[in-house]
């Protein structure tokens, strides 16, 4: 079954980019969506909330800092208080901060790892008891090609976090598989989102346009490309897929172009 009728999904980083597109997609597939948003970033989560509601599904916005354990625990508690269960948890929130390695101090390292890697773990840990009690669930995380599959200069901390997600997903899949819980990641390639459009910390508009020309499919990705793949991984059609990192990169890792 592909529909997500009446499933409860929690998504971090839901106010923009891949998280927002996935929230919309899940709602259209029938899920109610808990939108975890970090307001200091200034994204308009109300538009995502409105789109989920327009699809006839319930949306709930929870202000969340995935860098803080109490904040993520409160997110899970709020979702459970409202809906009684969590079927799908997508740990998607992350930051990318350009930092040449000779300047990469503890503060920068801890900030990026704390959000991009430990933030994933905080969400998984917070929802695992409810999934265990329910006899199953779907844990999903947004990794990256940068780290597990390719280099990204001046992003050693980000790369380490994203490679860490791939390892976490494998080991957790083995451990919680017997509980009927699957754990998977998507490694997106170059996707046009606020993160990649940031010309200080990432490629910027010009950079992604240029990258698009060299990719096998001759375009860069859209958040909707990733959302469609998350829909598959969240659905019953992916029941026997676990511990896997699905590359959604338009074939870019095949040529490393």
Partner 1 sequence: MTRLAGRTALVTGAASGIGRAIACRFAAEGALVVVADLDDGENSARDGGAPTARAIAEAGGRAIFQRTDVTEESEVEALFAAARQASGRIDILVSNAGTFRGNPILATTPANWDADMDLNLRSHYLVNRAAIAAMAGEEARADGIRGRIVNMASQLGVTAPPGHLTYSVAKAGIAQMTRQLAVDYAREGILVNAIGPGRIITGYHPGEAEYVASGTIDAATAYSLARTPFPRLGRPDDVAGAALFLASDDCTFVSGHLLMVDGGWTAY
State the catalytic residues.
158
Under the binding rule (CB under 8 A), the answer on residue 244 touching partner 1 is yes
Q: With respect to partner 1, which residue has the nearer C-beta, 86 or 183?
A: 183
User: Which two structure tokens, joined as six digits, stand for 3?
Assistant: 């529909």
Under the binding rule (CB under 8 A), the answer on residue 180 touching partner 1 is yes
Indicate which single residue of 54, 77, 174, 209 sits in contact with partner 1 (rule: CB under 8 A): 174
Distance between first and last Cα of the chain:
37
Alpha-carbon span 252 to 149, nearest angstrom: 10
Indicate which single residue of 11, 78, 229, 234 sits in contact with partner 1 (rule: CB under 8 A): 229
Indicate which single residue of 65, 116, 192, 225 sits in contact with partner 1 (rule: CB under 8 A): 225
Under the binding rule (CB under 8 A), the answer on residue 232 touching partner 1 is yes
Binding segment toward partner 1, per CB under 8 A, in 105-113, 119-127, 153-161, 212-220: 212-220
Mind giving me the DSSP string for 93-106? --------GGG--H
Q: With respect to partner 1, which residue has the nearer C-beta, 184 or 202?
A: 184
Q: With respect to partner 1, which residue has the nearer C-beta, 199 or 214?
A: 214
Least Å distance, CB 209 to partner 1, is: 16
Under the binding rule (CB under 8 A), the answer on residue 249 touching partner 1 is yes
Chain position carrying tokens 């969340």: 64
The total number of residues shown for the chain amounts to 257
Instruction: Identify the helix (H) or strand (E) that includes residue 10.
Output: strand 8-12
Q: With respect to partner 1, which residue has the nearer C-beta, 35 or 246?
A: 246
Q: With respect to partner 1, which residue has the nearer C-beta, 44 or 175?
A: 175
Under the binding rule (CB under 8 A), the answer on residue 153 touching partner 1 is no
Interaction site with partner 1 (CB under 8 A)? 2, 169-170, 173-175, 177-180, 182, 189, 215-218, 221-222, 224-226, 228-229, 231-232, 235-244, 246-251, 253-255
């Amino acid at each position: 079954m592909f529909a997500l009728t009446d499933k409860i999904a929690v998504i971090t980083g839901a106010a923009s980019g891949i998280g927002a597109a996935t929230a919309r997609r899940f709602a259209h597939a029938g899920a109610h969506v808990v939108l975890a948003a970090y307001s200091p970033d200034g994204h308009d989560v109300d538009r995502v909330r409105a789109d989920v509601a327009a699809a006839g599904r319930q949306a709930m916005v929870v202000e969340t800092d995935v860098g803080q354990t109490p904040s993520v625990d409160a997110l899970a508690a709020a979702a459970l208080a409202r809906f009684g269960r969590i079927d799908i948890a997508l740990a998607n929130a992350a930051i990318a901060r350009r930092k040449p390695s000779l300047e990469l101090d503890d503060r920068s390292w801890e900030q990026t790892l704390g959000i991009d890697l430990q933030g994933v773990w905080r969400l998984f840990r917070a929802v695992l008891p409810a999934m265990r009690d329910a006899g199953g669930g779907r844990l999903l995380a947004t990794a990256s090609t940068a780290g597990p599959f390719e280099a990204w200069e001046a992003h050693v901390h980000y790369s380490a976090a994203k490679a860490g997600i791939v390892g976490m997903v494998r080991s957790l899949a083995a451990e919680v598989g017997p509980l009927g819980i699957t754990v998977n990641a998507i490694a997106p390639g170059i996707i046009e989102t606020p993160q990649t459009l940031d010309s200080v910390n990432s490629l910027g508009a010009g950079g992604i346009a240029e990258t698009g020309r060299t990719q096998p499919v001759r375009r860069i990705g859209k958040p909707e490309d990733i959302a469609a793949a998350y829909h598959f991984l969240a659905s019953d059609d992916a029941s026997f897929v676990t511990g896997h990192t699905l590359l959604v990169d338009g074939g870019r890792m095949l040529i490393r172009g």
